[in-house]
Amino acid sequence: MDTKLLDILACPLCKGPLKLAEDKSELICKADGMAFPVRDGIPVMLESEARTLDVDERLDK
Ligand SMILES: [Zn+2]
């Protein structure tokens, strides 16, 4: 995924910065504890499609 694209992406809920998951399959908002899927390189910024992070994921490793 284009890192420039990541620069302009913000969380649709809190408008905060998103972090690309290591496997690049998700965009993570730590503030909300949500992960938005990236499908075929396209981020799906919909709350209804987002996954709730589990406790381990919420902690910054
Ligand atoms: Zn957020």
How much distance in Å is there from the Cα of 27 to the middle of ligand 1?
Answer: 10
For residues 18 and 11, the answer to whether their CB atoms sit within 8 Å is yes
- Return d(Cα 15, Cα 19) in angstroms, integer: 13
Q: Where are the chain's structural domains?
A: 3-58
Question: How many angstroms is it from 40 CA to the middle of ligand 1?
Answer: 22
In what helix (H) or strand (E) does residue 6 lie, and over which residues does it extend? helix 3-8
CATH assignment of 3-58, among 3.10.580.10, 1.10.3720.10, 2.20.25.10, 3.30.1330.40? 2.20.25.10
pLDDT of residue 3: 63
Q: Quote the radius of gyration of the chain (alpha carbons, Å).
A: 11
Query: How many A from CA of 42 to the centre of ligand 1?
Result: 18
Q: How high is the pLDDT of residue 57?
A: 84
Give CA 3 to chain center in angstroms: 13
Centre of ligand 1 to C-alpha 3, Å, is 19
Q: pTM of this prediction?
A: 0.81
Kindly give the confidence (pLDDT) of every residue in the chain, 61 residues in length, as a single tens digit, with 9 standing for 90 and above. 566 666 678 999 999 999 999 999 999 999 999 999 999 989 999 999 999 999 888 876 5
